[in-house]
Structure 1
Amino acid sequence: MREFKMKAWLKKEKKMVSIIGIDLNYQYIRYSDDGNLFKDDYKIAEFKDIELLQFTGAKDKAGQEVYEADVIKFNDGIDDIYGLISYDDEDAVYCVSYENVTEHLSNMAGDFEIVGNIFENPDLHEQLGY
């Protein structure tokens, strides 16, 4: 069975948090500031104030979990290339986009490293060509 994990980027606070729970009816998440998922001291953020990021099921070569909006680096045999992880609704798969190319993340075979994400590392936009 596929592991289902999410984290959230708080837009106003500009910070990534671990999600304790999601309420789809009232459209909010419960989260912990310190990453402790097993405590009663949690905060709430509405969907409109966050970006939800889902675990792709993949890990990089160091064993780090890959989430949507992560930026990865890999080598094509000549150069280091940076790509952005996203979900393709049409094909229902996670993809990596780089240099006007989009391919399924599963084709990467874990031979890459996560160098950050587009929220916590805005400087990576330049590496991505944005």
Structure 2
Amino acid sequence: MRDIKFRVWDSFHEKFVDPFDVRINAGNGNAHGFKSGGNVDVWQLQQYTGLKDKNGVEIYEGDIVLAVARESDCDSDNANVFKIHYDKIYGAWSGHAQGRLSTYGGKNHLTEALTMSCWLLGELRFDIEVIGNIFETPELLED
């Protein structure tokens, strides 16, 4: 059976909060939280993809991962940075290519994006590694 779970980003406090603090009112659909003082307007939910990276880390929507795209137009020796999202067209979790990760001047930089910008997560999952997420490490997506 597939695990269905979420993590919750609190944009006011800039941290992840306990997802078990989220309560949904069945009568009106409103969400509220006990530990948060009830301010859930600043929460953003991210769903678990059901997959783990090569280190056993769960992969969530909004994660930034390092992976080798296994296609003929990609150099298999170079890892690429992908942002994980749910693709409504394919009805599947996908990685949106951000570019190749290069290091110079003591910092990581993104260079040249892949020819194909969207990859199904299943095509990337071998040797994939979570390196951050869009909230805590957005600099990984910057050039």
The answer to whether TM tops 0.5 is: yes
Aligned equivalent of 2:65, options 58, 69, 72: 72
Which one has the bigger strand percentage? 1
> How far apart are residue 90 of structure 1 and its match?
2.4
Secondary structure in 2 matching 1:123: helix
Q: Percent of aligned pairs with the same residue?
A: 29
Residue in structure 2 matched with residue 18 of structure 1 by the alignment:
18
Unaligned runs of 5+ in 1: 31-41
RMSD of equivalent CA atoms = 1.8
Compute the TM-score of the two structures, normalised by the length of structure 1: 0.78
Given the two structures, how large is their TM-score scaled by the length of structure 2? 0.72
- 2:46 and 2:125 map into 1 onto residues whose CA distance is 21
Report the Cα offset of residue 102 of structure 1: 0.4
Amino acid at match of 1:27: A
**Alpha-carbon distance in structure 1 between the residues aligned to 2:46 and 2:57:** 15
Q: Classify 1:110/1:16 alpha carbon distance in 2 versus 1 (closer, same or farther; 3 Å).
A: farther
Give the superposition deviation at 1:29.
Answer: 4.5
2:114 counterpart of 1:121: no
- Spell out structure 1 runs of 4+ moving beyond 6 A: none
The structure that has the greater radius of gyration is 2
Match of 1:34 in 2: none
